[in-house]
Amino acid sequence: MLPHDASTATKKICALAPIIPVLVVHDVAHARPLAEALVAGGLPVLEVTLRTEAALAVIAEMAKVEGGVVGAGTLLTPDDVKRAKDAGATFGVSPGATDRLLSACEDAHLPTLPGAATATEAMRLLERGYDMMKFFPAEASGGAPALKSLASPLPQISFCPTGGVSMANARSYLSLPNVACAGGSWVAPDALVQAGDWPAITELARAASQLSRDA
């Protein structure tokens, strides 16, 4: 997969909803009902971070949910890419980007959202052929004002800010011309997941899905 094709595929995924839930799931038994709750609330794109022992099994279960588009987050190595793809991930997300990791994603035909936090990092990815990126860590890197500053010199790049994004500040990001969507964990808080309160999670997802650029 060529970098341009990967970015095009990732853009299509990012266009499906304004918010991508960033999920840290410890128990595979929660995978399917959690995915169903989020999809029912209007958030079909799900990022499962590879931060737990259950993550790959969670991806495999969530991939069975109708209407869901499941990806793997926190890709750091080529082995992560292979395991995520084998588990059923249809896209990948990385906090940063290295040539080795990008090559592994391209070889695996796994559309990827590579991370960038500075103009230099974004330019390097653009030079390789990527124009859809993750802005991480968003709030710690200057938040919406920082992203707004990148829009003028780098108008051809679109971002998905993640890291500190919440219901309270999501609109400030989504109102920017260079933001395609945002990633956040608030739509699936651990307390609700552990309690199995799927209707409450669906309501959080529904509120997030209705965030608009104009509001």
User: What is the SS3 assignment for 31-83?
Assistant: HHHHHHHHHHCCCCEEEEECCCCCHHHHHHHHCCCCCCEEEEECCCCHHHHHH
Q: Is 139 exposed, middle or buried (0-12, 13-18, 19+ CB in 10 A)?
A: middle
Residue 132 is encoded by which pair of tokens?
């859809």
> For this structure, is 82 an active site residue?
no
> For this structure, is 11 an active site residue?
no
The residue from 121, 127, 134, 148 that is catalytic is 134
| Closest to 47 in 3D by CA, of 13, 96, 11 | 13
Phi/psi of residue 135, nearest 5 degrees: -100, 110
The residue from 47, 61, 85, 106 that is catalytic is 47
Residues marked active site are found at: 47, 134
